[in-house]
């Protein structure tokens, strides 16, 4: 075979196609500007010449759509993990039953175990999910749709916070019965789950999206959950000072405290409100960070 | 309608980590210029690592080019990458985000996130699932489907919500012929009905020859040719392709075989030769009539394909699929 001849023809062909590239044809409904051949990132084009853009998805409908899609994933993938989260917390309470008689310690164990379910799902599993989505190029799906970043992060965080509700309620009720604590104020879970859930989910999403590697996202999620377990379940009075400071830095602590206060005979609602307010502030900040992290991770 | 000028994208070098060796910087797109016309099916053909996906990621706003310009339907996508999502329906290679959703919910969710209202999204979802023959498995999660079915479901999701441009990154990977036909019929319908322009990434030469209007051949981050498949094939029209498969090894003691061995590309027991038609005819006659026939397991004589064009233009061997 005479390769020289072929290569020569190829060269010729390349020249031919370069000429074709300049000759922009006008076809169909749209007009093509002849000067479009020398586009060099100049100023914005007049709107009249550009094809109109399809609408963006609005924040709330998009958020609801992501939330719904994420919730439906629970049916396929999340239910076994919810059982694990609940059994783990109930197991810890049964274990502590032999050590703790009542009073502040019992309140801390039940509140800590209940919020641990939230930490397991919202922090640990969400960090893993976003880490996996980022590593597997799953974020491309959302990034190539005209959907606000906040809708993706808030929808997923909201769905994961919702997954935690049944497990948290079961743990709180089982713990209250086990340690003979009053059930009267358990309605506070209706505030604790969404607020602590949002704070921890924001934290988890940010970890998952910021971690440079998937394994690191998983590790950070696990560490966050372990911290919530150790620092949440053990009564604060018994911790050495540095651990007590760590405990104060952990967003789940304020959910635990809020729930623990309501088990007292005379609940100080001011303290409960203050703890929940901290959760709310942390939620806003961490979700904002997660949204920024999503933007950064989606387009490189 | 879509012009790409001098697009450059370099992936930075990475340091060695445990389990991953250091990698030098890679210039994945090295000055790519293209013109895609309204309503055509435009193909990007090349082996893995040629820079196809990098180009597509810049077209779809997933990646910023280091230099160069992209103008799509009058919008500067380098300056406003966010607009790509409002012009392009994109089918990527991964389905991670949709894997745990049902086929039906995946399609509906995509429609809603493209800004459709609930009713329109459901109507479009039903239409697309019927069109692609997915209605029977609409309630099953993507994760539980076979590779080809999952790919078809992702394709369905990509079609929900009208877009003037579709960018499809190897859409038919793993699909059976029925599913492939469904994909090309759906693409053709949109082209005829809405004037949809399609950018298709493929390394399958047979598919490229049958469905594409024009094709850009990519090699190491550069466009080495751009024309209609027929126009490209004219480059090698003076040749035919002879493929020989030997039973054990080639009988090099036969003079005809020894003569052919000089111009053959060998990969194991398989020889590929591009020959002048007269030469090929006499070679086949000599091989099938003489002692070499005993050693021959199979042979084919075909007109050249885009793979031959690719090789003739200086492309590396392998990497393109004929199926």
* Residue with token string 């329906």: B89
Q: Chains A and B: how many Cβ contacts under 8 Å?
A: 191
B235 to chain A, any CB pair closer than 8 A? The answer is yes
The string of pLDDT tens digits covering residues A144-174 is 999 999 999 999 999 988 888 999 999 999 9
CA distance B313 to B216: 12
> Nearest-CA residue of chain B relative to A66?
B109
pTM, full prediction: 0.82
Residue A23, number of CB atoms within 10 A of its CB: 9
Which of chain A's residues have a Cβ under 8 Å away from the Cβ of B169?
Answer: none
* B1: three-class secondary structure by DSSP: coil
Residue B194 touches chain A, beta carbons under 8 Å: no
Does the CB of B247 have a partner CB in chain A at under 8 Å? no
Q: Give CA separation, B283 vs A3, A239, B209, B237, B275, in Å.
A: 19, 88, 28, 19, 9
**Closest-CA residue of chain B to A136:** B96
Which of the residue ranges A24-28, A60-64, A75-79 would you say has the lowest mean pLDDT? Answer: A24-28
Across the range A62-80, mean pLDDT stands at 84
Contacts of B265 in chain A (CB under 8 A): none
Both structure tokens of B158: 């990509």
Length of chain A measured in residues: 300
CA closest to A145 among chain B residues: B85
ipTM, interface predicted TM-score of the complex: 0.86
Q: In terms of DSSP bridges, do strands B26-36 and B2-11 run parallel, antiparallel, or are they unpaired? A: antiparallel
Please report which residue ranges of chain B form alpha helices under DSSP H: 52-59, 103-113, 118-131, 147-159, 177-194, 205-211, 229-234, 255-261, 277-289, 306-312
Distance (Å, whole) CA A102 – CA A190:
25
Condensed to tens digits (0 to 9), the pLDDT of residues A219-232 reads 999 998 888 888 88
Whether residue B280 lies within 8 A of chain A, CB to CB, comes out as no
For B71, name the nearest residue in chain A, comparing CA atoms only: A39
The predicted-structure confidence for A179-213, as pLDDT tens digits, reads as follows: 999 888 899 999 999 999 999 999 999 999 999 88
Q: Which helix (H) or strand (E) holds B217?
A: strand B214-219
pLDDT at A173: 94
- Residue A66 CA, distance from chain mean position: 12
Say whether B3 and A143 touch across the interface (CB within 8 A): no
Q: Following CA atoms B219, B223, B229, B232 in sequence, which dihedral angle do they give, to the nearest 10 degrees?
A: -90
Alpha carbons within 13 angstroms on the beta-carbon side of residue B272 total 14
Residue-wise pLDDT tens digits, A8-42: 444 444 433 333 333 333 333 333 333 333 333 33
For residue A137, the chain B residues in CB contact (below 8 A) are 92-94, 96
């Amino acid at each position: 075979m005479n390769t020289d001849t072929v290569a020569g023809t190829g060269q010729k062909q390349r020249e031919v196609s370069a000429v074709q590239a300049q000759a922009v044809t006008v076809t169909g409904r749209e007009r093509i500007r002849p000067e479009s051949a020398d586009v060099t990132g100049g100023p914005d084009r007049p709107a009249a010449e550009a094809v109109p853009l399809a609408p963006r998805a609005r924040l709330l409908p998009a958020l609801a759509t992501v939330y719904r899609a994420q919730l439906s994933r629970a049916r396929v993938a999340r239910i076994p993990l919810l059982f694990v989260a609940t059994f783990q917390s109930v197991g810890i309470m049964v274990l502590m039953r032999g050590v703790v008689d009542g009073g502040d310690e019992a309140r801390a164990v039940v509140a800590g175990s209940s919020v641990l379910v939230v930490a397991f799902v919202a922090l640990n599993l969400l960090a893993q999910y976003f880490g996996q989505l980022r590593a597997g190029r799953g974020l491309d799906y959302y990034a190539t749709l005209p959907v606000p970043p906040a809708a993706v992060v808030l929808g997923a965080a909201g769905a994961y916070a919702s997954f935690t509700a049944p497990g948290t309620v079961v743990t709180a009720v089982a713990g209250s019965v086990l340690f003979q604590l009053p059930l009267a104020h358990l309605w506070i879970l209706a505030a604790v789950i969404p607020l602590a859930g949002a704070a921890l989910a924001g934290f988890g999403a940010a970890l998952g999206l910021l971690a440079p590697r998937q394994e690191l996202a998983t590790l950070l999620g696990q560490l966050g959950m372990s911290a919530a377990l150790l620092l949440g379940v053990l009564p604060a009075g018994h911790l050495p000072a540095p651990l007590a400071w760590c405990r104060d830095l952990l967003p789940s602590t304020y959910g635990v405290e809020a729930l623990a206060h309501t088990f007292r005979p005379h609940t100080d609602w001011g303290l409960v409100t203050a703890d929940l307010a901290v959760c709310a502030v942390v939620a806003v900040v961490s979700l904002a960070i997660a949204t920024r992290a999503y933007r950064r991770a989606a387009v490189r | 309608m879509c012009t790409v000028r001098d697009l450059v994208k370099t992936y930075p070098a990475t340091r060695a980590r445990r389990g991953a060796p250091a990698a030098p910087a890679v210039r994945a797109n090295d000055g790519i210029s293209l013109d895609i016309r309204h309503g055509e099916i435009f193909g990007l053909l090349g082996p893995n690592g040629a820079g196809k996906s990098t180009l597509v990621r810049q077209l779809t706003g997933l990646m910023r080019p280091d230099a160069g310009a992209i103008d799509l339907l009058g919008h500067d996508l380098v300056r406003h990458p966010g607009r790509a999502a409002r012009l392009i329906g994109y089918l990527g290679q991964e389905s991670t985000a949709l894997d745990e959703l049902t086929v039906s919910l995946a399609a509906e969710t995509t429609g809603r996130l493209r800004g459709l209202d609930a009713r329109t999204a459901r109507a479009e979802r039903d239409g697309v699932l019927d069109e692609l023959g997915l209605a029977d498995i609409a309630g099953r999660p993507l994760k539980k489907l076979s590779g080809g079915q999952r790919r078809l479901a992702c394709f369905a999701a990509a079609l929900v919500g009208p877009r003037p441009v579709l960018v499809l990154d190897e859409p038919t990977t793993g699909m059976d012929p029925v599913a492939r036909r469904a994909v090309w019929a759906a693409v053709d319908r949109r082209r005829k009905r809405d004037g949809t322009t399609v950018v298709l990434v493929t390394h399958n030469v047979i598919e490229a020859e049958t469905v594409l209007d024009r094709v850009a051949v990519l090699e190491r981050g550069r466009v080495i040719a751009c024309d209609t498949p027929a126009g490209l094939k004219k480059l090698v029209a003076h040749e035919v392709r002879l493929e020989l498969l030997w039973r054990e090894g080639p009988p090099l003691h036969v003079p005809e075989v020894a003569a052919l061995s000089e111009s053959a590309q060998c990969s194991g027991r398989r020889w590929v030769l591009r020959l002048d038609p007269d030469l090929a005819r006499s070679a086949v006659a000599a091989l099938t009539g003489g002692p070499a026939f005993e050693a021959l397991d199979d042979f084919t004589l075909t007109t050249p394909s885009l793979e031959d064009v690719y090789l003739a233009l200086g492309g590396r061997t392998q990497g393109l699929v004929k199926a």
